[in-house]
Amino acid sequence: MDKISKNLQRLENSAIALCFIVMSLAAFAQVANRNLVGASISWFDELARYCMVYLTLLATEAGLRDGSQIAITALQDRCPPAIKRLLQIVIKLIVIAFALMILDTSIDLINMQIRSGQTSASLGVPMWIPYMALPISFAIISIVQIISLILLFKAPLTASTTNANADSANIDSADATTAGTKLNAASDHAASHAGQKENK
């Protein structure tokens, strides 16, 4: 199962890199052609736009997979390992449910585009090709999040408990060091004050 996830990750990263390269080249060619030649080739702009759509949706899954999306974890971080695990499971279930819902809707959208036979204005490609970014991205999100959920169920809680104990020990050590520093400072201040009285 971990092998499937790694293969999907490798394929997805390659697709993201390819979309970024093609988008950058198309945008550069459009700007250079417009400023140097004085003519505008519309399909450059259309190609860059469709690549950006694929890039954005595929990168969304990459962010979910790597945990680099913006998230508020203040409550989760303060919970004990068992409650923290439960919250992570609930979050993944919500993400999976949303991804499957969008996947089902996007498949209907693709079927509608295929039946209509609509093509893009400049490239002349069938419009179901740009729209395929939705089912591809959310299918990958669903698969990867389901695999992640299964691995989460299998993962032991001991690691979280150990980390929590280590964090607690570090906090206690830091508190003890701070208290010791304050005590030494108070002692030095008292000794200095006593010395000043003797001098007087």
Over residues 20-49, the mean pLDDT reads 87
Residue 25 pLDDT more than 90? Answer: yes
Q: How many domains in the chain?
A: 1
Its sign, for the CA torsion 151, 91, 70, 78, is negative
- pLDDT of 126: 94
Give phi and psi for 39, each to the nearest 5.
Answer: -120, 150
Question: Would 194 be classed as within a structural domain?
Answer: no
Question: Would 176 be classed as within a structural domain?
Answer: no
| Of 15-24, 99-108, 153-162, minimum mean pLDDT range | 153-162
- pLDDT of 159: 47
Mean pLDDT computed over every residue of the chain: 79
Tell me which residue has tokens 């996830």.
5
Q: What's the pLDDT band for 74 if we cut at 50, 70, 90?
A: confident
Question: Would 25 be classed as within a structural domain?
Answer: yes
- Give the other-Cβ count within 10 Å of 13's Cβ: 13
Contact yes or no for 54/19 (Cβ under 8 A): yes
Contacting residues for 178 by C-beta, under 8 A, at least 6 apart: none
Question: Would 84 be classed as within a structural domain?
Answer: yes
Environment class of 1 (CB within 10 Å of its CB; exposed 0-12, middle 13-18, buried 19+): exposed
The tens digit of pLDDT for each residue in 103-137 reads: 999 999 999 999 999 998 888 899 999 999 999 99
Domain that holds residue 21: 2-167
Choose among 24, 65, 63, 57: nearest CA to 132.
57
Question: Would 88 be classed as within a structural domain?
Answer: yes
- pLDDT of 176: 47
Question: Would 195 be classed as within a structural domain?
Answer: no
Contacting residues for 191 by C-beta, under 8 A, at least 6 apart: none
Give phi and psi for 41, each to the nearest 5.
Answer: -105, 110
Question: Would 133 be classed as within a structural domain?
Answer: yes
Question: Would 172 be classed as within a structural domain?
Answer: no
| Of 159 and 35, the one with more pLDDT | 35
Over residues 15-43, the mean pLDDT reads 87
Residue 52 pLDDT more than 90? Answer: yes
